């Protein structure tokens, strides 16, 4: 019984931790939006914007990945 409650708490915690991915998604969307607008206005800056956009996406995505890692830890490690 106690084990089942702990198991349930793990699942709930993992699910809750993934709420943090919201921020990463918003951040990635904003950065891609800005980069695409820049590319549309100035196609010459395409390659430069692309590399910087990918770097920015990586930074934003890291936040979501931290959440994912926490969720994995709850599910598979704890």
Partner 1 sequence: MENTRKWRYGFNRWLVLLFIVLGAVAASFFPPLRPHIQVAPEVISGPLFSLPVIGNFYLTNTLVASFVVYLLLILMAFFVRRAVNSGELVPKGLAGAMEALLELLYNLTESTAGKWAKIIFPWFTTIVLVVLLSNWLELIPFVDSVGWLEPVQQGGHAAQQLLPGVFAVTAGEAASQGGFNVVPWLRVPSTDLNFTVALAIISVTMTQVIGLRTQGPRYLSKFINTTTMFKKPLFGAIDFAVGLLETISELAKLLSFSFRLFGNIFAGSVLLFLVGSLIPIFAQSAILLFEFFIGLIQALVFGMLTMVFMAQATQGHGGEHD
Partner 2 sequence: MEALGINLGYVLLQIFMFAIVLVVLRQWVYIPVLGLLDRRSKAIAQGLEDARVASEARANAEKDAEKIIAETQTKAALMIREASERAEAAGREIKAAADAEIAKEREAAMQEVEIERNQILGELRTQVISLAIAAAHKLISDAMDEKRQRELLEEFFSGVRAGRVVVLDGAAMDGAMEDAEVTSALPLTQDEQDAICRDILGRAVKVNNVNFRVDPSLLGGLVVRVGDKIMDGSLAGQLQNLRQNLS
Segment 1 to 40, residues that bind partner 1, using CB under 8 A: none
Q: Quick one: what does residue 78 bind among partner 2, partner 1, none, with the CB cut-off 5 to 8 Å set by partner type?
A: partner 2
Minimum CB distance to partner 2 smaller for 65 or for 73:
73
Question: Which chain residues interact with partner 2 by CB under 8 A?
Answer: 73, 77-78
d(CA 34, CA 15): 30
Angle at 68 between CA 25 and CA 50, to 5 degrees: 40
Angle at CA of residue 73, ends 17 and 20, nearest 5°: 20
**Which of partner 1, partner 2, none does residue 18 bind (CB under 5 to 8 Å by kind)?**
none
Contact criterion met (CB below 8 Å) for 24 and 67: yes
Summarize as ranges the residues that interact with partner 1 (CB under 8 A): 51, 54-55, 58-59, 61-62, 65-66, 68-69, 72-73, 75-77
């Amino acid at each position: 019984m106690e084990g089942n409650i702990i198991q349930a708490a793990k699942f709930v915690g993992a699910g809750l931790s993934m709420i943090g991915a919201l921020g990463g998604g918003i951040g990635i969307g904003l950065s891609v939006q800005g980069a695409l607008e820049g590319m549309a206005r100035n196609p010459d800056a395409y390659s430069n914007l692309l590399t910087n956009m990918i770097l920015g996406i990586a930074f934003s995505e890291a936040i979501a990945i931290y959440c994912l890692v926490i969720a994995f830890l709850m599910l598979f490690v704890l």
